[in-house]
Amino acid sequence: MMEPLRIGLAGLGTVGGGVVRLLADNADLIARRAGRAIVVTAVSARDRNRDRGIDLSATAWMDDATELAARDDVDVVVELIGGSDGPALTLARRTLAAGKAFVTANKAMLAHHGLELAGVAEARGLALRYEAAVAGGIPVIKGLSEGMTANRIGRVYGLLNGTCNYILTRMENERLDFDVVLAEAQAAGYAETDPSFDIDGIDTAHKLSILAALAFGARIDFGAVATEGIRAVELADIDHAATLGFRIKLVGLAETAAGHLFQRVHPALVPLDHPLAAAGGALNAVVAEGDFVGRLLFQGRGAGDGPTASAVVADLVDIARGNNSHVFGMPVADLAALPPADTASRHGRYYLRLTVADRPGVLAELTAALRDHGVSIESLIQRGHAANGDALVVMVTHGAGEARVLAALAQMAASDAVTGAPVMMHILDL
């Protein structure tokens, strides 16, 4: 058997601890599968004295994570610090500059600096791997870059944030309001103290931009992801969606068409018979559509120490086996710089929710706004609103151009009969 593969591990939080435990618990199995042992020789974390329940007695400790790259007894650096810049980025650059392989779970860093790092890795023939950065334990990076490699991929979408999925699922199952579930999730450690990255869709956008690059052979363009989170989703929306045969999910969706790249993160109404509708709780799920393979679905746990460690170590085993591929599926120079698609030109069905004064003529006004813009209505529900006597009007449009729907919505919002900000959600007819 070959010499062990020696790991320098930066970050000993939930995931870092999981990696240490996994490599210890399954050491024999991994060595047989990888053809060599995989051992952690050096670690770095913020607090040396914290009890993490893992044995680090045989492992060197570095106060400065970025110095892991320089150690002679480290072949591969695993970065689990997080953050798009700062020490994580410094460590990535130093590791590649030192001619070593780099494994990361850091979607924010890849979304912002992935092309730069991939270019360096490629120029030096080094592995740069990130299975854990998207959809946690689900091997979707491998699925896209190796499993579907024969295919022109036209679309990739899914549920990429377990926190949002957990919140929406609990709202539905327990009939709770968003704020209540969020507070509970924070107390239980399922959501961050500052939940913005998750619930405002930014984390999903990071992951989506990486999937899009890989799927389409395109340059990462995180800045072009139209991003909307789940703060505006009310229990009433979930109920009305259910009545109409849908479940609300935070969906990240990317497509290419006519040389343009469409990327959007948004709460969407998913038909109940679509596989994404069945992925509840903290599950993640990714759908990718290839021209030969058709629609593939990958589903599993998107976060947590075990699943994320599983993905990190899968990358390490690939490196131990000597397997390597281009970071984004093809040479960086071949990745196309695709201009963003014009979202207003899209066509689909839309869910609209308006809070209106409960007086005669309001419904006529709303429906006239849609008529004026050539949008026809598939379903309409009007209900008295418990809170303040206002009425709630929910509509699902027939297929219509998005620009027309937005214009109709603007016309409605300008009416003094409309008392709250109108909400529009997309219907996932895929």
Q: Which residues are catalytic?
A: 207
22 scored as a contact of a copy of itself (CB under 8 A) = yes
379 scored as a contact of a copy of itself (CB under 8 A) = no
Among 11, 16, 114, 143, binds a copy of itself (CB under 8 A): 143
Q: H or E segment at 62?
A: strand 60-62
Nearer Cβ to a copy of itself, position 1 or 414? Answer: 1
309 scored as a contact of a copy of itself (CB under 8 A) = yes
Cα dihedral value 205, 207, 208, 211, nearest 10: 160
Q: What residues from 247 to 276 belong to the interface with a copy of itself (CB under 8 A)?
A: 273, 275
Nearer Cβ to a copy of itself, position 142 or 353? Answer: 142
Instruction: Give the pair of three-digit tokens for residue 289.
Output: 């559509």
- In sequence order, what are the beta bridge partners of 254? 156, 263
Q: What is the DSSP string of 246-279?
A: EEEEEEEEEEEETTEEEEEEEEEEEETTSGGGG-
Separation of alpha carbons 108 and 197, rounded Å? 10
Separation of alpha carbons 210 and 128, rounded Å? 13
Q: What residues from 214 to 233 belong to the interface with a copy of itself (CB under 8 A)?
A: 217
Strand residue runs (E) in 105-205: 128-129, 153-159
> Which segment (179-187, 318-326, 402-410, 416-424) binds a copy of itself by CB under 8 A?
318-326
Angle between helices 235-243 and 162-174 (to 10 degrees): 80
Cβ(13)–Cβ(324) below 8 Å: no
325 scored as a contact of a copy of itself (CB under 8 A) = yes
Among 93, 231, 326, 349, binds a copy of itself (CB under 8 A): 326
With contacts defined by CB under 8 A, how many residues of the chain interact with a copy of itself? 58
Q: How far is the CB of 305 from a copy of itself (least distance, A)?
A: 8
For residue 145, the 8-state DSSP code is I
295 scored as a contact of a copy of itself (CB under 8 A) = yes
Site residues for a copy of itself per CB under 8 A: 18, 22, 25-26, 29-30, 32-35, 131, 137-139, 142-143, 146-152, 217, 273, 275, 278, 290-301, 306-307, 309-311, 313-314, 316-318, 321, 323-326, 329-331, 334
